[in-house]
């Protein structure tokens, strides 16, 4: 009887921890919270903690380069508002670091997430460096990552979705950049997002692993551009088996009629147009006219489009979706 009671107690405790944060930390620049630095708040959280740790970030501009290491799982960063809760840095590929070495794309991030089960909402993540080299704002390698109601700002390589086994969910987000500003090998859903091109270039550069059925999937998004921008491709394959699909997306007139680019001239990975999978269903707007798309892209049938569901794409993970 005691053993049964103990089992029930442990189960109940685990259920409660799964529903509510076991610790809440407030970050505020005016000193009204436990910390004035987001990184210090993250560092204070117990490694491999028993449940969700909630970090509330009060409005302000936080000039930080932040890392959430793999030992700091199940953390939620919750800002006050995506317009006034700002995390910003200005590193870029080629910049000389503190060790007098040149940075690369992969350590130019403003925010690096290496841990699983990280959630973010109501913040602005920015890399303010532009036209100096690749400059990542958000770099995610952990699994089951979600970000909602947020802004992600940069120029080239704004968002790096790394990791063949990483699943990521972006909802109601505004993302802007110049070249390949959504790139990487993760399986990613963008839902109700606004994607703004700041230059005549390419939006996506997926590098999906050959073993993966899904790469980037956009649902009900909107593609817009800075004034004067009129030649933007939906994507080009960073690696041979890149997969990118737009479903019910409104596309501005800046999207070129051919839609996709084969990334010719890559000596290491030639002829990527033969293996990449690029597709659309229900594209709308001036840039959504598909009659002149490249012949190696696809227009999904209704039956094919029905395969693009949260369950099919993410498997056993079901991120919480907004009611909007």
In terms of DSSP bridges, do strands 233-235 and 182-184 run parallel, antiparallel, or are they unpaired?
Answer: unpaired
The rounded distance, in Å, linking the Cα atoms of 160 and 301 is 30
Residue 235, Cβ density class (10 Å: 0-12 exposed, 13-18 middle, ≥19 buried): buried
Give catalytic status of residue 157 as yes or no: yes
Determine if residue 305 is left, alpha or beta; phi over 0 gives left, psi from -120 to 50 gives alpha, anything else beta.
alpha
- Considering 180, 220, 266, 271, which one is annotated as catalytic? 180
Buried/exposed 170-202: b ≥16 CB within 10 Å, e otherwise: bbbbbbbbbbbbbbbbbbbbbbbbbbbbbbbbb
The rounded distance, in Å, linking the Cα atoms of 116 and 272 is 31
DSSP structural state of residue 106: G
The rounded distance, in Å, linking the Cα atoms of 67 and 15 is 28
Q: Are 251 and 283 in contact (CB under 8 A)?
A: yes
The rounded distance, in Å, linking the Cα atoms of 253 and 181 is 19
Q: Are 281 and 290 in contact (CB under 8 A)?
A: no
Determine if residue 101 is left, alpha or beta; phi over 0 gives left, psi from -120 to 50 gives alpha, anything else beta.
beta
- CA-CA-CA-CA dihedral for 221, 143, 71, 114, to nearest 10: -60
The rounded distance, in Å, linking the Cα atoms of 285 and 276 is 25
- Considering 91, 122, 143, 157, which one is annotated as catalytic? 157
Name the residues annotated as catalytic.
Answer: 157, 180
């Amino acid at each position: 009887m005691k053993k049964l009671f103990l089992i029930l107690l442990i189960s109940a405790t685990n259920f409660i921890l799964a529903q509510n944060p076991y610790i809440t930390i407030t970050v505020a620049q005016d000193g009204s919270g436990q910390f004035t630095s987001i990184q210090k708040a993250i560092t204070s959280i117990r490694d491999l903690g028993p449940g969700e740790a909630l970090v509330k970030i009060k409005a302000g501009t936080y000039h930080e380069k932040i890392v959430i290491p793999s030992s700091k799982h199940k953390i939620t960063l919750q800002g006050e508002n995506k317009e006034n809760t700002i995390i910003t840095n200005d590193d870029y590929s080629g910049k000389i670091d503190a060790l007098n070495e040149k940075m690369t794309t992969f350590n130019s991030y403003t925010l690096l997430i290496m841990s699983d089960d990280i959630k973010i909402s109501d913040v602005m993540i920015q890399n303010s460096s532009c036209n100096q080299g690749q400059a990542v704002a958000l770099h995610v390698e952990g699994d089951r990552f979600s970000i909602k109601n947020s802004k992600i700002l940069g120029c080239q390589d704004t968002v790096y979705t790394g990791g063949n086994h990483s699943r990521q969910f972006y909802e109601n987000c505004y993302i802007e950049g110049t070249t390949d500003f959504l790139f990487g090998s993760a399986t990613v859903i963008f839902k109700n997002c606004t994607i703004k091109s700041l230059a005549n270039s390419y939006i996506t550069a997926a590098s999906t692993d050959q073993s993966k059925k899904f790469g980037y999937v956009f649902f009900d998004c909107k593609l817009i551009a800075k004034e004067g921008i009129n030649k933007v491709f939906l994507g080009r394959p960073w690696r041979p088996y890149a997969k990118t699909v737009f479903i019910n997306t409104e596309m501005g007139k800046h999207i070129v009629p051919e839609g996709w680019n084969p990334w010719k001239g890559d000596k290491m990975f030639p002829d990527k147009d033969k293996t990449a999978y690029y597709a659309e269903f229900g594209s709308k707007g001036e840039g959504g006219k598909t009659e002149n798309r490249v012949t190696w892209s696809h227009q999904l049938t209704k039956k094919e489009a029905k395969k693009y569901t949260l369950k099919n794409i993410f498997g056993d993970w079901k991120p919480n979706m907004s009611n909007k």
